[in-house]
Amino acid sequence: MKNLMTLAVAFMCFSTLNAQTNDVDFNTTSGLKMETDYGSDSSEINDLMSFQGIDFMTVNFSGKELKGKSYQITVKEIWNGKEVSDTTVFNSKTIGIKQFETLKDSMLSMRIIARHTDNNLRVKFKFPRFSITKDYDATASDEYSLRNLADESNLEIGYNEKFYFLAYILPYEREDGSKSWCEVGTSGDSIEKWGDKFGIEHYLLFEMKFE
C-alpha cells in the first residue's frame, strides 16, 4: 500500500509537468517573462526519460531590457538544513568568449537536462551555441526531481538581483508514507530552510541573475 500511495502522488505531480508549457508573467513590473516547456512532445521519449531518471525542460526568458545584459547561474548545496556551499555554475562575463559575454537579443533560451546516478547529480545547461555540465554529490536515493521554482511558486523574477530559479530536490514524506515533490516545489517561502521544514536530507538551489 505504501508503494501504491507513493506512485499515486508522483503521478499526480509529474503528469502536470510532462509536455506542458507554462507562460508566466509573474508579479513583477520589470517586464521580464519566462516560458517553460516540460518534457518532450513525444510520449515515448517522456516514458524513456522517466525510466532513465532524466529530467528535461526548456526555459525561454524574454524582455526588452535583456539585450546587452550578462547572465549568471549560481547554486547552493544544502545538506540536512545547512548550506554547505554557494558556487558559480556559469557567468557569461567570465566565460572567456567575447561574443557570449552579453546577450545580443531580447531573449535567452536554454535547455536543462538533469540525472541522478549512484551518489551523483549531473546537470547540463545547454544554450544555443555552448553548454555547461556540472556534477554534485548526492544521496543514494533515486527520487530526486528537478523543479522550476520560479514557475511552480510564481516567484518574482527581474533584473540586477538574483532570483530563485531551479531546485533539484528529494520528496517530502508524509506521516502516512506518501511522498510529494509538488508540496515542496510550490511552497514558495523559506526555500533555504526546506531541510528543516520538510525533513529533506539534501537538495540543490539554483539562482539566476541578469545584469
pLDDT digits (tens, 9 = 90+) for 145-161: 999 988 888 889 999 99
Contact of 192 with 162, CB cutoff 8 Å: no
The number of beta carbons lying within 10 Å of the beta carbon of residue 166 is: 26
Please return the burial class of 34, using the count of CB atoms within 10 Å of its CB with bins 0-12, 13-18 and 19+.
Answer: buried
Contact of 57 with 166, CB cutoff 8 Å: no
pLDDT (mean) for 36-59: 93
Rounded-to-5 percentages of helix, strand, coil across the chain: 25, 40, 35
29 Cβ contact list (under 8 Å, min separation 6): none
User: Could you tell me the pTM of the whole model?
Assistant: 0.84
- Of 25-29, 36-40, 132-136, least confident by mean pLDDT is 25-29
Distance CA 42, CA 10 (A): 20
Q: For 115-175, give the DSSP string.
A: EEETTEEEEEEE-SS-EEEEEEE--S-S--EEEEHHHHTT----SSS-EEEEEEEPPEEPT
pLDDT digits (tens, 9 = 90+) for 52-83: 999 999 999 999 999 999 999 999 999 999 99
